[in-house]
Structure 1
Amino acid sequence: MPDPALLLVAHGTRNPRGVEMIARLADAVADRVGTTRVAFVDVLGPSPAEALREIRGPVVLVPAFLASGYHVHNDVPREVAESGHRAVAVTRALGPDPALAGVLVQRLREAGWRPGDAIVLAAAGSSDPRARHDVQRAAHLLSVLTFTPVRIGYVATGEPRVPQVVAESRQPGVRVFVASYLLAEGLFHSRLSEAGADGVAAPLGVTEPVVDLVARRYRAAVPTLRAGAGAQPNP
């Protein structure tokens, strides 16, 4: 069996910098594992089903999401089924993961965060309790690395919202920094500059740990395809 292609599935954004970031991530991953394609579940195309129909041979689909909500549990399986492709292995979402927590710390330090400053983890948000649990796990991983309590705020869906958590985190002499639990720049990240924090970290972006994480998700799924089991998400 030839090496499977990798299909990186992201949410989609109208922000060209966000689209460009996903393209750069795919290019960096391709340097590690070979053929890598990109698809989007919303906003722009191609859709995962469209991309899968164009790929001959086995495929490892990696959901480029930081928490497993509706898109991961519903949209991705539906798109795989609609494609008719019979040799697809679907991996876990990218997050939460200790590698991402390490990048969050790096981004916070680049933004000027120092020990003693408060941290608010800003996530897009979801109505799916599984996604909210994943964000809580991400906050815990970040707290362990920074020895700092980490509170969670949501940008788009769910409560509390980031500005509220920033305001509640303020204490005399304590600066408040927002850790952006987002992959790329776009509408959601732009809103964080209005949250009233002393500093806002950049999104995770294309960093070596993120590229390595995608490659690890891919490599862990390849044996599933070798064994002939397709279209099954890893636990």
Structure 2
Amino acid sequence: MSFVLVAHGTRKGSGVGMVGDLARRVSDRLGKPVRVAFVDVLGPTPSEVLRELAEPAVVVPAFLASGYHVRVDLPAHIAASGHPAVTVTAPLGPCPQTVRVVAARLIECGWRHGDAVVLAAAGTSDPQAQSDLRQTAALLSAVVGDRVELAYAATGEPRVPEAVDALRRAGADRVVVASYLLADGLFQDRLRDSGADAVADPLGTHPSMVRLIANRFRRVGVPLAA
């Protein structure tokens, strides 16, 4: 059995390195190598990676909503690869375990009870992905005990700086941005420039993310390494 972690891709070297580091940590936990592929910006693509694999493959989409890349791009890559035996797991969100990682990153960046929170996603025009993001915001609201505003770094309204400004105008003493991004890159840079009092790191290599992805692979029959 072969294992492939598929992410979006970024031109920022630190983001590419973060995805590679995440795959290595998952590999260490599984005791099996995990390959990395990207659906956009850079390669190798999922089709390129899958063409190199002779045995059945398991693909974990490292996406935080079921948008175009998950439902259209990835199946197209799999079909183009000609690989006869590929199992694709659910993406990483919406998922209660992923929301707990978002909350942990919030605490790390200095969030305190009473702070206004913006959940910052990359953005999407896909209705299913939009629904997934609203569900994630609701889950995070339950965790932090207060309403969480959903905003976007790219596609969609409101944009993150607009959401931060609106909360300040509404009387918030502090506004904290919860990054709902997998890795560092252009979008994370936009969050840092949003004017918030604090910005959480991307989910990245948080130990709970490593466990979540390893468990996605494990559920198709791969025991965790001792």
Per the alignment, residue 227 of structure 1 pairs with none
**Pairwise CA distance, 1:56:** 1.6
Per the alignment, residue 48 of structure 2 pairs with 50
**Pairwise CA distance, 1:42:** 0.6
Q: Aligned partners of 2:221, 2:76: CA distance in 1, in Å?
A: 21
Per the alignment, residue 3 of structure 2 pairs with 6
SS of 2:87's partner is strand
Does the CA contact (< 8 Å) of 2:11 and 2:41 recur in 1?
yes
Q: With structure 1 as the length reference, what TM-score do the two structures score?
A: 0.90
Q: With structure 2 as the length reference, what TM-score do the two structures score?
A: 0.94
Query: 1:117 is aligned with what amino acid?
Result: D
Per the alignment, residue 151 of structure 2 pairs with 153
Per the alignment, residue 165 of structure 2 pairs with 167
Does the CA contact (< 8 Å) of 2:26 and 2:214 recur in 1?
yes
For 1:211-233, what per-residue CA distance to the aligned partner results, in whole angstroms no more than 9, with x for missing partners?
Answer: 1111111122349xxxxxxxxxx
The runs of 4+ residues in structure 1 deviating greater than 6 Å are: none
SS of 1:221's partner is coil
**Pairwise CA distance, 1:174:** 2.1
Does the CA contact (< 8 Å) of 2:153 and 2:159 recur in 1?
yes
Does the CA contact (< 8 Å) of 1:122 and 1:155 recur in 2?
yes
Spell out the pairing of 1:1-235 with structure 2 (5 A cutoff): 4-33=1-30, 34-170=32-168, 171-172=170-171, 174-222=173-221
**Pairwise CA distance, 1:32:** 2.2
Per the alignment, residue 230 of structure 1 pairs with none
Does the CA contact (< 8 Å) of 2:65 and 2:93 recur in 1?
yes
User: Which deviates more from structure 2 when the two are superposed, residues 214-223 or residues 200-209?
Assistant: 214-223
Does the CA contact (< 8 Å) of 1:60 and 1:222 recur in 2?
no
Identical-pair percentage = 55
**Pairwise CA distance, 1:129:** 0.7
Q: Aligned partners of 2:52, 2:12: CA distance in 1, in Å?
A: 26
Does the CA contact (< 8 Å) of 2:14 and 2:184 recur in 1?
yes
Structure 1: 5+ residue stretches without partners: 224-235
For 1:51-101, what per-residue CA distance to the aligned partner results, in whole angstroms no more than 9, with x for missing partners?
Answer: 001012010011000111100000000000000000100111111111111
**Pairwise CA distance, 1:196:** 1.5
Does the CA contact (< 8 Å) of 1:122 and 1:162 recur in 2?
yes
User: Which deviates more from structure 2 when the two are superposed, residues 42-51 or residues 159-168?
Assistant: 159-168
Aligned residues: 220
RMSD: 1.2
